[in-house]
Chain A
Amino acid sequence: MNRYRNGDTVVVRAHFPPGHARAPYYTRGHAGEVVRITGPFPNAEERAYGRDGDREPLYRVRFRQRDLWPNYPGSARDTLVVDIYEHWLEPGSRQ
């Protein structure tokens, strides 16, 4: 079962655990929109340590660049899309 749907606003968890993490640091704590749902894929963060990894949905999440970088130098239209495993996401509302 997928926890989120296309169009949902999600926030990347602002957690900084040690070890292998696939959610890029610069996305943590930021809100974006689910634009595509793929998977399920085995959790690569577990596989990095030789474990099988639970299968979970992988979301393509689109962020506005100006939300990610306070001094973003480009156009207000610019965006960035990242693939994020479900366990990194929380329900959110756009600021």
Chain B
Amino acid sequence: MSGHHPHPRQPDSEDLTWSRERLMAAAVEALLVEKRVVTSGDVARALDYWASRTPADGARLIARCWTDETFAARVMRSVNKAAGELGMDIGPTRVVAVANAPTLHNVLVCTLCSCYPIGLLGDSPGWYKSRAYRSRVVREPRAVLAEFGVRIPDDVEVRVHDSTADLRYIVVPMRPAGTEDLTEKELAGLVTRDCMIGTAVPSYDAG
């Protein structure tokens, strides 16, 4: 590199405007630490744990369901325990699996706020927390699904799960046709985050 050229000034994070909510969270955290309810290390470890969760964990669980019927049955009884068999710690909040079938398509929402199986899928997408998704998917789920590119025939029941209390949900999608020869790892690659929310269905093109 030679010569000088001007760099546009990039704002540091302190230069951005803080929302009321962000200020409140920072104030509460500072108070909790000051009053020795938690330590800064506790907060950092908790954030680190949540940041380490990704939809790849959920996808691995679903792929195992597709290749092992008895595992799938255990998932339907307790997702938390079954995830433990795969070495995943998805946290103490109880997660319930809802399975798609040829006559049933499940889709998840939390109309109250943003309840989501973070332990299995990582942080939720922005649209999941939006008022538009939360208010519309309960009263016109088929229109919302169509906007995601998912068209459900009228003879298939669309079942919306509104997660408003102590349970979290994960959709177990149907295994796509033509995937008999795929490995479990390849199958997991077909399972996207949205497939486990119900706003997508896994597809496979052997092409």
Contact = CB atoms under 8 A, between A and B. Distances in A.
A binds B: yes
Interface of A: 22-24, 26, 38-39, 41, 44, 58, 60, 62, 65, 68-69, 72-75, 77-85
Interface stretch (B3-11, B55-63, B151-159, B180-188): B151-159
Nearest to A82: B162
13 contacts: A24-B162, A26-B111, A38-B94, A41-B166, A65-B139, A72-B140, A75-B156, A75-B157, A77-B154, A78-B142, A78-B158, A83-B167, A85-B165
A73 B140 contact: yes
Interface in B43-57: none
A73 B143 contact: yes
B174 to A, nearest CB: 17
B163 interface: yes
A52 to B, nearest CB: 15
Contacts of B162: 24, 80-83
A58 B111 contact: no
Interface residues of B, number: 23
B35 to A, nearest CB: 15
Nearest to A78: B158
Main secondary structure, interface of B, reads mixed
Interface of B: 94, 111-112, 138-143, 154-167
A75 to B, nearest CB: 4
A60 B112 CA distance: 16
Contact of A74 (B141, B166, B167): B141
Nearest to B106: A81
Contacts of B166: 38-39, 41, 44, 58, 83
Contact of A22 (B112, B139, B143, B156): B112
Contacts of A84: 164-165
Contacts of A39: 166
Nearest to A69: B139
Contact of A41 (B159, B161, B163, B165): B165
Given A74-B154, A82-B164, 18 more contacts: A22-B164, A23-B164, A24-B164, A26-B111, A38-B94, A38-B166, A41-B166, A44-B165, A58-B166, A77-B157, A78-B157, A79-B157, A79-B160, A80-B138, A80-B162, A82-B162, A83-B166, A85-B165
